Structure 1
Amino acid sequence: MKPTNDNPSAQSRVVTQRVACDWRRAYALAADPARLPDWASGLSKSALVQQGDQWIARTPESGDARMRFAPPNEFGVLDHWVAPEGVAEIYMPFRVIGVAPDACELQFTLLRQPHMDDAAFARDAEWIARDLKALRDLLEA
């Protein structure tokens, strides 16, 4: 008997983007909260403000959001947690993986939230794809 999972919130989607640059360079740029407005339109419209170990971002859809990031590491882990106003914190797994000396892959795992319908899940995946392409363009410029 094939197992099934009818729980929509248990769904995830990995959105990837190949980039023609060393993974360490991609990691350094993507890990810098000050650079988020340059490519992450889903997270911030303007400069982030640091408050202790968190950052405050003005999001395009839900006002201010508190953000925290995985500590600097040598593994390409860029995971972050976002807490929009009035919403529980959301975990966002994000990796930069070296695939060749001069190429890497950005991998963002979109975890479907309990309140998301199919259209919202698809819209968020498309938004992430646009942001990863913007990051690629920035890195390859």
Structure 2
Amino acid sequence: MTDQQPMRSRHLSQVIRRPPATVYAFAAEPANLTLWAAGLVQAEVRRDGADLLADTPGGQIRIRFAAPNELGVLDHDVTTPDGVQTFNPFRVLPHPEGSEVLFALRQLALSDTEFDRDAGMVQSDLDRLRDLLEGA
């Protein structure tokens, strides 16, 4: 038995009053990432084969999304400049009011304060995605 606490996950979501296919198509388009995913990218996204590249204050990150699909799966791996790769589950689900986007944030090596900060950033991104798609 170990004294180490189990890694926590937090599921963040937002209902968007648009069809799932519309939400998926917008969120999956690399050119749209800077419009809503500030927690991931703040600068132009470039293609490098199946990957996306973006510059961050800490250096260039590499993003690889799940292959295009009809299931709403937008899972993606993010590789930081130091080579650390993080898997990010992200889904667009049917919802009675349109769609629900669901992101699973994992604490990994983050402190509780950093985890809470990241959760706030992800929720802000999901809120921004809703606002863009609903025309707010």
8 Å CA contact 1:42, 1:128 repeated in 2: yes
Pair 49,8 (structure 1): closer, same or farther in 2 beyond 3 Å: farther
Q: How does 1:1-141 map to 2 (within 5 A)?
A: 7-8=4-5, 10-59=7-56, 61-100=57-96, 103-114=98-109, 116-141=110-135
Instruction: Tell me how far 1:57 sits from its aligned partner.
Output: 1.1
* Shift of residue 45, structure 1, vs aligned partner: 1.2
Give the alignment's TM-score, normalised by structure 1.
Answer: 0.89
SS in 1 for 2:39: coil
How far apart, CA to CA, are the structure 2 residues paired with 1:86 and 1:76?
30
**2:112 corresponds to which letter in structure 1?**
D
1:9 touches 1:113 (CA, 8 Å); kept in 2?
no
What is the rounded CA distance, in whole Å, between the counterparts of 1:95 and 1:51 in structure 2? 23
Asked if 2 retains the 8 angstrom alpha-carbon contact of 1:94 and 1:107, the reply is yes
> Compared with structure 1, are the counterparts of its residues 8 and 65 closer, same or farther at alpha carbon in structure 2 (3 Å cutoff)?
farther
Q: In structure 2, what is the Cα distance between the partners aligned to 1:122 and 1:46?
A: 24
Gaps of 5+ in 2: none
TM-score, normalization: structure 2? Answer: 0.92
- Number of aligned residue pairs: give it: 134
Q: Is the 8 Å Cα contact of residues 9 and 112 (structure 1) preserved in structure 2? A: no
For the residues of structure 2 that align with 1:73 and 1:95, how far apart are their CA atoms?
A: 11
